[in-house]
Amino acid sequence: MIRKLASGKYRLYSRKKNPKTGKRRNLGTFTGKAAALQHEREIQYFKRH
């Protein structure tokens, strides 16, 4: 899940909530939305290969 921050950057969060904290895990902050989308694709690829 990608959210835009007040600073104008984009942050990638995990799809599932962390059961320990009840929040989504931060998977990185990016300057552009395209970079965040690309990293999300890379993560999904890595999880299955």
At position 22, the amino acid (one-letter code) is G
Sorted by where each begins, the domain ranges of the chain are 2-48
Task: List, edge to edge, every strand of the sheet that includes 10-17.
Answer: 2-4, 10-17, 24-30
pLDDT at 5: 97
In the chain, % of residues over pLDDT 70: 100
pLDDT at 29: 97
Give residue 17's pLDDT band: very low, low, confident or very high (50, 70, 90). Answer: very high
Tokens of 20: 């320990």
pLDDT at 23: 96
At position 4, the amino acid (one-letter code) is K
- The number of beta carbons lying within 10 Å of the beta carbon of residue 12 is 20
